[in-house]
Amino acid sequence: MAPLTSVILGSLLVYLTHAERHGVQVIGNLKKGLNPLSMSDLVFTSPYMSTALKTGLITGIIALAEGVAVGRSFAMFKNYNIDGNKEMIAFGMMNIVGSLTSCYLTTGPFSRSAVNFNAGCKTIVSNIVMAIAVMFTLLFLTPLFYYTPLVVLSSIIMVAMLGFIDYQAAIHLWKVDKFDFLVCMSAYFGVVFGSVEIGLVIAVSIYFIAEITWLSIARLLLFVSRPRTAVKGNIPNSMIYRNTEQYPYSRTVPGLLILEIDAPIYFVNAGYLRERITRWVDEEEERVKTSGENSLQYVILDMSAVGNIDTSGISMMEEIKKIMDRRELKLVLANPKGEAVKKLTRSKFICDNLGKEWMFLTVGEAVEASSYMLHTLRTVPASKEPWNNV
């Protein structure tokens, strides 16, 4: 309501005082009507084609990154998954169609998504209503914006930008990982004193120059961006747990899902791991439902190969914990390495979210504790608290 009130009051004030005659800049005349079709205006032999391609490439990358990030943010609120590939296809198709009708670049803006979310919108019908409202405004209401002062519009943008500065997140980065804090500040100053493109290039350049060499880029793309995840089962008559695909005779534990993460968790694979773990849980719950076995209660993550984790990985772990809580499942960690434990402790994930009692040295200990809790929950009467007995 604040921006809407500012525009209305500012326009009324200028109209009543004729401030535009005394140096106050206003929007002025706006053309009424809808933009015409632009299919016939497309020219692929223009001397400015190279400039258009460069601009389009940069704009497309930024728009895609923004749209997918915004979509994933709101997906966490509503507890659903999105497919980044389908998002990219949707943006691309809409921009191809929009280029034929003089449309602006189609993205997933945070402001419009936030408005829809707060208004309780649940389907794309909300976008149809919004399109009709914008069309009605362009056809009939544009003269009302003649006296809108530009200073009001600039103040709205400034207030919105100040809301994007999350200093607490910067302090959190400083406490957890100094290098991530350096990248964050570099991107921030690049955007403030340059542009979004400059900030993006600076941040990515610092990260890649400091962390990897040209020789390891291929390894990063192959092994880190898509790390191997697998379901582990118990080798009969032992406390050893191995990949069920490599060891077909291994047996899964009823009520438990044991997942192995075979790489450090960084920003390049955090989103993939979140979606992969969620998919494993979905498949296991579906299998349990069709087979009639005991319902899934515990998800154990074997982090023996997770030698390090950055702030994006920590955020992914927090999201996984929230997903497990919504599904009434318990998240258990097994054998995280020293550096990963150190950062998870600094971020207060272990104390505030997971609980120290749900982190174990080996998968066997985690399975034994989880199985004991399952047995206690099934045998102790409902009027008693099995947690206190443990």
Question: How far is Cα 12 from Cα 29, in angstroms, rounded to an integer?
Answer: 16
pLDDT of residue 229: 84
Task: Tell me the pLDDT band of 378, cut-offs 50, 70 and 90.
Answer: low
pLDDT of residue 1: 78
Among 321, 309, 318, 325, which residue's Cα sits nearest to residue 268? 309
For the cut 60, the answer to whether the pLDDT of residue 216 exceeds it is no
Query: Three-class SS string for the chain?
Result: CHHHHHHHHHHHHHHHHCHHHHCCCECCCCCCCCCCCCHHHCCCCCCCHHHHHHHHHHHHHHHHHHHHHHHHHHHHHHCCCCCHHHHHHHHHHHHHHHCCCCCCCCCCCHHHHHHHHHCCCCCCHHHHHHHHHHHHHHHHHHHHHCCCEHHHHHHHHHHHHHHHCCHHHHHHHHHHCHHHHHHHHHHHHHHHHCCHHHHHHHHHHHHHHHHCCHHHHHHHHHHHCCCCEEEEEECCCCCCEEECCCCCCCECCCCEEEEEECCCECCCCHHHHHHHHHHHHHHHHHHHHHHCCCCCCEEEEECCCCCCECHHHHHHHHHHHHHHHHCCCEEEEECCCHHHHHHHHHCCHHHHHHCHHHEECCHHHHHHHHHHHHHHHHHCCCCCCHHHHC
Distance of alpha carbon 87 from the chain centroid: 13
Question: Tens digit of pLDDT for each residue in 287-337?
Answer: 888 887 778 889 999 988 888 888 888 988 988 998 888 888 999 998 888
| Average pLDDT over every residue of 7-27 | 87
Q: Provide the token pair at 149.
A: 């002062």
Query: Rounded to whole angstroms, what are the CA distances from 125 to 45, 114, 145, 284?
Result: 39, 16, 27, 34
Question: Tens digit of pLDDT for each residue in 149-192?
Answer: 999 888 877 776 776 677 888 888 888 878 788 888 888 888 78
| Average pLDDT over every residue of 110-128 | 76
pLDDT of residue 111: 65
**Degrees, nearest 5: CA angle 40-46-51:** 115
Question: Tens digit of pLDDT for each residue in 69-108?
Answer: 777 777 776 777 777 788 888 888 888 888 888 887 777 6
pLDDT of residue 223: 66
Task: Tell me the pLDDT band of 385, cut-offs 50, 70 and 90.
Answer: very low
Q: What pTM did the predictor assign?
A: 0.58
pLDDT of residue 184: 85
| Better pLDDT: 352 or 384 | 352
Among 260, 258, 322, which residue's Cα sits nearest to residue 296? 258
pLDDT of residue 217: 63
Question: Tens digit of pLDDT for each residue in 343-359?
Answer: 988 888 888 778 777 88
Task: Tell me the pLDDT band of 383, cut-offs 50, 70 and 90.
Answer: very low
pLDDT of residue 222: 64
Among 355, 352, 294, 365, which residue's Cα sits nearest to residue 330? 355
Least confident residue range of 91-95, 191-195, 277-281: 191-195
Among 184, 163, 135, 143, which residue's Cα sits nearest to residue 31? 143
pLDDT of residue 264: 84
Question: Tens digit of pLDDT for each residue in 249-264?
Answer: 888 888 889 999 888 8
Question: How confident is the prediction for the chain on average, in pLDDT?
Answer: 81
